[in-house]
Amino acid sequence: MKRILVTGGAGFIGSHLCERLLGQGHEVLCIDNFYTGTRRNVARLMDDQNFELMRHDVTFPLFVEVDEIYNLACPASPIHYQFDPVQTTKTSVHGAINLLGLAKRRRAKIFQASTSEVYGDPTQHPQTEEYWGNVNPIGFRSCYDEGKRCAETLFFDYHRQHKLRIKVARIFNTYGPRMHPNDGRVVSNFVVQALNGEPITLYGDGQQTRSFCFVDDLVEGFLRLMDTGDEVTGPINLGNPGEFTIKQLAETVIELTGSKSTIEYRPLPQDDPRQRQPDITKAKAILDWEPTIQLKEGVSRTIAYFDALLKEGVA
Ligand code: NAD
Ligand code: UDP
């Protein structure tokens, strides 16, 4: 049994990770500043004596005794990370410095939730880990993209300079229960709009693509990466290679909800990547991992979650 720190543990992915780690018998210390996460996401874990929730902002140093660290703290939805862009960069960069410092003092293994956004609007398709990306350093998405890129740099410098054991995962679009109903990301937006019978807001012509990974598959990838030998540092892509246009996603959501919602076209946000698909050759070879949950099944489970949430009047 280990004592494991999960930063951003009250968020969408973090709450699923905490649950899985507790299920494996570990002690979990979940820290979060509740910027986009909520206590509600971890409410069911509060009775578990191995679970501890602490309000803390990762841009400030943290002194706790842990054996492993998963660093997920950072708003992930464009609306939220662009709301206070300076804080977003601080969260990624100062957060990484503080947690790497903690890992160094504890000699703890540390995992970084990096992102496919390090590839920017990619000119290579699908994206392999060797691709250096096509990122605008001064645009609206830069606070997130460059913050995450700098965090990767810090992880690798701590690894080289201080021999820290690091695990860097580049996560592609992930969805599922406990996404924030108002976080503006495409799956939650479309599902909530369809369930409410409101128009589905499709940005641009809807021909841009994304590859959507269900959260349970992703968390399995996290655990496998953390369990690898010290020689495995990543970066390693974790995502579902099944690529869909956003229009196809809208049609799938309408079909699965049986909604009468119409599609409403809106302008494409600035720097919105045209296409995104992970090459997961490395994850398959090194982690023996690949997603098992198909889009329709995952979207159905997500619809069930939001349906219950709307009926409770929470969203
Ligand atoms: P989320 O917004 O639900 O979770 C992020 C959590 O971090 C929230 O609970 C938030 O309150 C917390 N947080 C934000 N700033 C903080 C700070 N300064 N100190 C402490 N806590 C802070 O998003 P998510 O989808 O669960 O994403 C989790 C991680 O995975 C993020 O680092 C994100 O960048 C990364 N990621 C997610 C996706 C995806 O598709 N969901 C894709 C790529 C990368
Ligand atoms: N999108 C959309 N309608 C929405 C929300 C998003 O058409 O209501 C599009 C968005 O422009 C992008 C894709 O869906 O092309 C994925 O957006 P999201 O914010 O989920 O993630 P990211 O752009 O970071 O991959």
Cα of 173 vs centre of ligand 2, distance in Å, is 10
Tell whether pTM > 0.95.
Answer: yes
The number of the ligand nearest the C-alpha atom of 175 reads 1
The atom of ligand 1 lying closest to the CA of 71 is 32
Res 183: pLDDT = 85
Residue 315 confidence (pLDDT): 67
So what's the pLDDT on residue 303? 98
pLDDT of residue 313: 80
Report the CATH number at residue 240: 3.40.50.720
Which ligand 1 atom minimizes the distance to the CA of 37? 9
Q: Which residues of the chain have pLDDT under 50?
A: none
How many domains are contained in the chain? 1
210-245: pLDDT as tens digits: 999 999 999 999 999 999 999 999 999 999 999 999
How many angstroms is it from 67 CA to the middle of ligand 2?
A: 36
Cα 153 from Cα 97, distance rounded (Å): 11
Containing domain of residue 285, as a range? 3-312
144 assigned to active site: yes
